[in-house]
Structure 1
Amino acid sequence: MNTQRFFIELSYNGTAYHGWQIQPNALSVQECLDQALSVFFRQPVQTLGCGRTDTGVHAKRFFAHFDLPGALGTQMERKVPGINSLLPYDIAVKRIFAVDNNAHARFDATSRAYKYYLHFHKDPFKLDRSWLFKGTLDIALMNQGAEILKNYKDFSCFSKSHTQTFTNNCVLTEAVFEELEDGLVFTIRADRFLRNMVRAVMGTLVRIGRKEISLTDLADILESKDRSKAGQSVPACGLYLVDVKYPFIP
């Protein structure tokens, strides 16, 4: 049977989910999406995502791919509302489009970007969407630290232990803090990210902003490749996957 591969672009609020990837005893975004697609197309559908997001992490732009028999893959833009009607309100499909049958949502991505939000004053409308930080931060110093990150490729010090990756090298092209009305947003872009990397990076840069460690300490941490020397991971609620780029998607 001839099949056609499709990319699906979606966004989700990750508060209620144990990350993207299917878990044996916990609800995930992938499980909900696969169930909705399987019901809609009346046959089993399995997606493969552009990466993993941890429990409580959000995605503004996430891609996955799946295969269907050719006869089912017509007029996909008209099917998006029906698929969305089968999904919870905190998961939304934006579009579905045909790609080459060799296209891969994970391996063909050339870069990914995350944003991390924190705020300084209690705000019920930011609950589970931003980290309430109590204290003051030296933003200029944190940006100096963010610049130092770009001088390195091995980010073992920010990775969870015992992961199944062959290398801890990543190429960072952007790392910058911007001030918001009542908080900060940290943007980081790279060709790939390690598990828990962004939250560990953020936790370490916050320590710099609080003047608990110096810029020289940051360089020492990076060169040590030792996770125990870096800062604690910040809460998941402030983290968003915001962009994934592919050579075949404008």
Structure 2
Amino acid sequence: MGAGRTDTGVHAREMYAHFDSDTSFDIPTLVHKLNSFLPKDIVIYDIIPVHDDAHSRFDALKRTYEYHIHQFKNPFIDELSWYFHQPLDIDLMNQASQLLFNYTDFECFSKVNTDVNTFDCTIFEAYWKRGKNDQLVFTISANRFLRNMVRSIVGTLINVGLHKITLDDFTKIIESKSREKAGFSVPAHGLYLTKIEYDYINP
């Protein structure tokens, strides 16, 4: 049972899954054997014994994503970052990011017709920073995320950075609860699941 699912093309630097077993085994040996037949883009780092009722999806306390953008053409990272060359007002995008903390209902950033009981999420952090090689990185953490939520938040923040919408517009979009009013969904290949936290695992 995996800790969650992501859109096709999204990367994961950290992902957990749980399984039940009555069989004893040597962990380093099993890790080695699993990696010997898994495809090249999946690697097992460790197997961690946990309590019998542990659940990789429902016990997660916090998940963190990053979205990577490069603003100068770079073929070496093109599959790992979104190339967007237009100038962006990062200070204004960070101001808009802080407005997310004022809300818990993020229906406007969710895919429509999704099977969820609530659109409520608690956001713990959300900010942009400049990285190396003309890259911009958006980091966001929350207790849970809706389908397509991060990609649509980034797309809407891009519109803020392009001065297409104001901070007041950004607030009204959230309050509208309408996906049609929010910005475009940025490409999946720039998105990374970077961390999942549990109270019984301390990697």
Q: Give the TM-score normalised by the residue count of structure 2.
A: 0.97
Instruction: Write out aligned runs for 1:44-193 (5 A).
Output: 48-68=1-21, 70-71=22-23, 73-181=24-132, 182-193=134-145
Structure 2 letter corresponding to 1:240: Y
Work out the CA distance in 2 between the residues paired with 1:176 and 1:77.
38
- Deviation string 1:62-118 (CA, Å, 9 cap, x unpaired) is 0011122x22x3222221111101111111011112211210000000000000000
Structure 2 letter corresponding to 1:65: H
Work out the CA distance in 1 between the residues paired with 2:116 and 2:62.
17
Work out the CA distance in 2 between the residues paired with 1:92 and 1:53.
17
Work out the CA distance in 1 between the residues paired with 2:197 and 2:118.
21
Structure 1 letter corresponding to 2:80: R
- Deviation string 1:117-167 (CA, Å, 9 cap, x unpaired) is 000111111121000002000000000000001111000000001111100
Work out the CA distance in 2 between the residues paired with 1:65 and 1:49.
7
| Count of aligned residue pairs for this structure pair | 201
Question: Relative contact order (alpha carbons < 8 A, sep ≥ 6): 1 or 2 greater?
Answer: 2
Identical residues among aligned pairs (%) = 50
- Once superposed, what is the RMSD of the aligned Cα atoms? 0.8
Structure 1 letter corresponding to 2:178: D
Work out the CA distance in 2 between the residues paired with 1:212 and 1:99.
49
Q: Which moved more, 1:96-105 or 1:164-173?
A: 96-105
Q: Secondary structure at the match of 2:68?
A: strand
- Deviation string 1:144-199 (CA, Å, 9 cap, x unpaired) is 00000111100000000111110000000100000113020000000000000000
Q: Give the TM-score normalised by the residue count of structure 1.
A: 0.79
Q: Which of residues 177, 180, 188 in structure 2 aligns to 1:225? A: 177
- Please list every run of at least 4 consecutive aligned residues from structure 1 whose deviation after the TM superposition is greater than 4 angstroms: none
Which of the two has greater strand per residue?
1
